[in-house]
Amino acid sequence: MSIVIETQNLRRCYGRGVTLVAAVNGISVSIEQGEFTAIIGPSGSGKSTLLNLIGGLDQPDEGRVLLQGQDIAGMTGNAISDFRRDHIGFIFQAYNLIPVLSAHENIEYIMLLQGVPKLNRQARVLEMLGLVGLKGLGHRRPAELSGGQQQRVAVARAMASKPDIILADEPTANLDSKTGAELLDLMRQLNAELGLTFLFSTHDQMIMARAQRLVHIKDGVVEQDEVR
C-alpha cells in the first residue's frame, strides 16, 4: 500500500519564553491509502494542532509534512489554498457549511473553485448527496438541516473534490451519540466501498471503537500506534 501523507518529526509550539507550549512535539506518522485512522488523546494533547498541520492550515516550526512525497510546509498564498482545495477534504466540528448556500451549492462550491465543468458538477453533487443519504434535500440551506445532516453534507463536500485524504477534527463532537455513531458508520462505509482515506480525531470511546487504526497522542507526542 502507498503512503498518502507522512509527517516527519513535526513540531509546533505556541507562546514564547516560559509560556512556551509544544502542542505537537516531534510527531512522525504515515497514513496509508485507504486507512481509517483515529487520532485520540485527552483534551489539549495536540490533536487539532496535528490535523491543522497535516491539512496545511498551519505551519510547523520544525519537521515536514509530505503529501505523496512532496513537502507542503512552506507553501504559501494561492499555492497552499490550491493544495488544500485539490488534495485535502475537510470536515470540521460544526458549522461546516456556508449558510447562504444550499446543501447542493455547498457541495458544488468546491468544484466551482476547482473549475469542474457544470455538467460534471451537477452529476457529482447528486451522486455525493446520494452517497451520504441526503437525496432530495439538496435545495435546503444549512439552517434547514439537522446537525447530523449538516455533517453529512460536509462529508459529501469533502469527497466531492476527490481529495487524497479527508481530515476530520472531532466531526461528531457537536452531535448526540447516536447521530455521531451513524456519521462514523457512514464514513466507515465510504472508506470501505470507495477506498477513501480518513484521518479523524476524537475522544469519544464509542467513536474510537469504529476506527481501524488508533494513534494515541499525549502532550504532543505519539504514545501508541495500534492497528486493529
Partner 1 sequence: MLLVQLAFRNLFRNGRRTFLTCLLITSSLVVMILMDGLILGMLGVMVGGITQTLEGEAQIYKSGFRDRFDSTLYLASPESILTVLEEDATLTAYAPRVIVPAVIGSSYNTLGGMVYGVDPEKEIATSRLRQALIEGEYLTNNPRGLLMGRLMAEKLEIGIGDRVVLTASAVDNNELVQGLFRVSGIIEFGPKELDESFVFIPIGAAQALFHLGDGLHQIALRFKDFQDANRSDLALAREIQEEGVEFKGWLALQPSVGAMLEMTSYATLIIGVVLFLFASLGVVNSIFMSIYERLYELAIAKAIGTRPAFIGGLILLEAFALAVISCGIGLPIAFCLMTYFAANGLPLGGTMEFSGVVLPGRLYPELVWYQFVQFPLYVILLTVVAAIYPALFAARIAPARSLQKAL
Ligand X SMILES: Nc1ncnc2c1ncn2[C@@H]1O[C@H](COP(=O)(O)OP(=O)(O)OP(=O)(O)O)[C@@H](O)[C@H]1O
Q: Which does 78 bind (CB under 5 to 8 A by kind): partner 1, ligand X, Mg ion, none?
A: partner 1
- Alpha carbons 47 and 61: distance in angstroms, whole number: 16
Piece of 44-52, 114-122, 149-157, 174-182 that binds ligand X (CB under 6 A): 44-52
Among 3, 8, 21, 126, binds ligand X (CB under 6 A): 21
- Alpha carbons 31 and 28: distance in angstroms, whole number: 10
Rounded to a whole number of angstroms, the minimum distance from the CB of residue 113 to ligand X is 27
C-beta atoms surrounding 228 within 10 Å: 7
Return the number of the residue (186 or 217) whose C-beta is nearest Mg ion. 217
The SS3 call for residue 125 is helix
Residues within the interface to Mg ion (CB under 5 A): 48
Check binding of 179 to partner 1 (CB under 8 A): no
Q: How many CA atoms does the CB half-sphere of 36 hold within 13 Å?
A: 20
C-beta atoms surrounding 211 within 10 Å: 23
Rounded to a whole number of angstroms, the minimum distance from the CB of residue 107 to partner 1 is 11
Piece of 28-36, 45-53, 105-113, 122-130 that binds ligand X (CB under 6 A): 45-53
Return the number of the residue (66 or 94) whose C-beta is nearest partner 1. 94
Q: Which residues contact 165 (CB under 8 A, 6 or more apart)?
A: 4, 5, 31, 87, 88, 89, 197, 198, 199
Check binding of 45 to ligand X (CB under 6 A): yes
Give contact residues for ligand X (rule: CB under 6 A). 14-15, 21, 23, 41, 43-49, 203
